[in-house]
Structure 1
Amino acid sequence: MKVILDTDPGIDDALAIAYAAAAPEIDLVGLTTIYGNTSIHQASRNARYLVDLLQLDIPVARGAEAPLGASDFRSAGIGHGSEGFGDVIEIPDLGVDHPQSAAEYLVQMAREHGEGLTICTLGPLTNIADALALDPEFARMPGRVIVLGGALGGGGDVSETAEDNMARDPLAADTVFASGLPITLVGLDVTLKPLYGIADFAVLSAASPRVGGFLNRAVQSHLNFFCVTLGIDGCGLQDPTAVVACTHPQLFKTIETGLRVITEGARCGATIPDPDRPPVAVCRDMQTQAVMQELTSRIASLH
């Protein structure tokens, strides 16, 4: 399958991109970048660095630098460090961005590949909303859109009700869920179930010194954030879990419901069911060990 990852690298994004590069089911067409874990400048630089590290010949199209209606965005750097890759702070600025914006690139690729294209979003949904604004027919072009985000079945991670990607641009998220795009939502209901600890990253580092070694170095402060700040024994695999949902949907249990994102007030960013909206496949459970094994085996094969 042809896949575009819309990404804000990000340590877990790096794991997700590495998995996509290794998975034989995926023909990785390109990366589009978005603010989120970092600024848009850092996100694009980090994406181009990963393209080089993974020896990929794909474009990186730079996306939105701020939420809809905002003029700027400042990342707090919490959990991902000042440059996005934890304690790895000397990241070379390699290559150049694609001449098209992320929205333009997404629309062009959707026109070319149609239902053969899967878009997997790992950050705020601003680029997807921008693509819809650029061409309303975009909603009927791609075969699947896998969205990482939301907390339909429980608490959020940035507030009691809101998940980070939805909360950063709730207007964009609500626009996307209203569009009729063929969406599968992979939210906190499932992505905090697989936890990678110190030993898991050590396995990747030993098996794949170049790629796994980089991931192991980058993740140490992220692990500390999860263990010390959140009290979780290991870091969640949010972004890579969403990419496994692209390649192995049979490992995930879903329900169908329309969705709405609250755009203002105390519950801003909360994702709630709305039966009057187009149906979305919402992941509610998965085969956790099988997902973790798939991630480990594929990333460990990278040399």
Structure 2
Amino acid sequence: MTQPIKLIIDTDPGIDDTMAIFYAAGAPDIDLIGLTSIFGNVTTDQATRNALRLLEWAGLHKVPVAQGAAKPRALPAFPPSHNVHGDEGFGTIAAATPQGKMSDESAAAFLVRMAREHKGELVICPIGPLTNIAEALDLDPEFANNVSRIVLMGGSLEEGGNISPHAEANIYHDPHAAERVFASGAKIVMVGLDVTHRILCTAEDFDRLEENAPRLGGLINEMSRFYLHFYTTVGKHDGCSLHDPAAVIACTHPHLFETRAVPIAVSCLGETSGATLLSNDTRASTDVLMRVDAEAVKRQFFKVMNTLD
């Protein structure tokens, strides 16, 4: 077996963030070396608290959590997505104070330091708005070259949006940061709605997960009921999308996806704000995932998740 990849997840937990982090905690081909927190599904303070709680639930007490930006680079702060993820981010599960404490470093400083220490090896997986990644690029001109790649959950090339007709939520919540990242020259993989909308999990899938992994699978199952209910309110009755877990799986299982290499720009204006568009400048291409073996991704997800307890 090859060496596990060194991974940092930039996260706004969040129910599907929870699934992604638990997956990374259990995957033998991932060395989870840190989490950084960001606003989005919840506030940044809630995201930091939730990240610490998730690591404690998963038994990863030594993995650091660095707190990130509290608001977008240029836009006013957005309200959290409480209707999707619950008031505290975990559906109906109540807030609780974690035992651990966040790092003294900011998210951007932590990302920069880890990229230097693991030059050419570090994979960063942002599954929220890209503000922390943009700040790291601002902080260190070599950051884009030091990271191995940035595998982000966000955007859409052909699928349309999920928060507006044009935009996916993570990009919409800080389009200026996303434009900074896509124009940076870093090696970027975009795991967007073109593929994540094809990977669906049902209530029965999560019931079986709880049977196989009663403790952590039970937590996921409890959270998933809130998440699945939200999907029914927008007319989707066939399950919930595995948005964030798909991005983490793409870090280690790229063969389960088909890629199109194109330069991506982000609209920051008007009704198209947050749209990920084909760029007409000379920036480096992004590997945009366009097709997926959805059943294989689901099998991989539950293969790891079933081992968690």
Asked whether the two chains share a fold, i.e. TM above 0.5, the reply is: yes
**Tell me, what secondary structure is at the counterpart of 1:159?**
coil
Q: Secondary structure at the match of 1:283?
A: strand
Match for residue 35 of structure 2?
31
Residue-pair matches, total: 303
For 1:40 and 1:232, the matched residues in 2 are separated by: 31
- Please, which runs of 5 or more residues in structure 1 have no aligned partner? none
Work out whether 1:265 is the aligned partner of 2:270.
Answer: yes
For residue 302 of structure 1, what is the aligned residue in structure 2? 308
Question: Could you list the runs of 4 or more consecutive aligned residues of structure 1 that deviate by over 4 angstroms after TM superposition?
Answer: 70-73
> Structure 1 residue 50: deviation in Å?
0.3
Query: How much does 1:90 deviate?
Result: 3.3
8 A contact 1:39–1:73 mirrored in 2: no
Matched, 1:48 2:52: yes
Q: Deviations over 1:127-163 (max 9, x none)?
A: 0000011112111111111011001112100111111
> Which of 13, 20, 45 is residue 24 of structure 2 equivalent to?
20
Could you tell me how far 1:72 is from its partner in structure 2?
A: 4.2
- Name the stretch that deviates more: 169-178 or 230-239: 230-239
- Equivalent residue of 1:114, what SS? coil
- Fraction of identical pairs, as percent: 46
Output the CA distance in 2 between the equivalents of 1:48 and 1:92: 9
Deviation at 1:299, TM superposition (A): 0.7
Instruction: Tell me which residue corresponds to 1:278.
Output: 284
CA contact (8 A) 1:6 1:123 kept: yes
Deviation at 1:228, TM superposition (A): 2.9
Trace 1:213-228 onto structure 2 (pairs within 5 A): 213-228=218-233
**Structural mapping, 1:83-94, within 5 Å:** 83-94=88-99
CA distance in 1, matches of 2:133, 2:202: 33
What are the equivalent positions in structure 2 for 1:55-70 lying under 5 Å apart? 55-56=59-60, 57-70=62-75
Query: Are the counterparts in 2 of residues 67 and 126 from structure 1 also a CA contact under 8 Å?
Result: yes
Q: Please give the alpha-carbon distance, in whole angstroms, between the structure 2 residues aligned to 1:155 and 1:169.
A: 17
Moved more, 275-284 or 6-15: 275-284
Deviations 1:35-69 (A, max 9, x none): 00000011000000000000012000000110003
The CA deviation string for residues 240-270 of structure 1, in whole angstroms up to 9 with x for no partner, is 0000000101111001010000001111111
User: Is contact 1:257-1:275 (8 Å) kept?
Assistant: no
TM-score with structure 2 length normalisation? 0.96
Q: Equivalent residue for 1:191? A: 196
Work out the CA distance in 2 between the residues paired with 1:154 and 1:201: 26
Matches within 5 A, 1:221-260: 221-260=226-265
2:147 and 2:301 map into 1 onto residues whose CA distance is: 25
- Once the two structures are TM-superposed, the CA of residue 76 in structure 1 deviates from its matched residue by 3.9
CA contact (8 A) 1:28 1:58 kept: yes
TM-score (normalised: structure 1): 0.98
Q: Does 1:289 align with 2:295?
A: yes
Please say if residues 6 and 31 of structure 1, whose CA atoms lie closer than 8 Å, have aligned partners that are also in contact: yes
Q: Secondary structure at the match of 2:36?
A: strand
User: Could you tell which deviates more after superposition, 44-53 or 273-282?
Assistant: 273-282
**Contact 1:151/1:163 (<8 A) preserved:** yes
Is 2:77 aligned against 1:75? no
Distance 1:271 1:71, change over 3 A: closer
Q: What is the RMSD computed on CA atoms of the aligned residues?
A: 1.1
2:130·2:181 contact (CA, 8 Å) conserved in 1? Answer: yes
Residues in 1 aligned to 2:236 and 2:192: alpha-carbon distance in whole angstroms: 20
Query: Distance between the aligned counterparts of 1:96 and 1:189, measured in 2?
Result: 37
SS at match of 2:22: helix
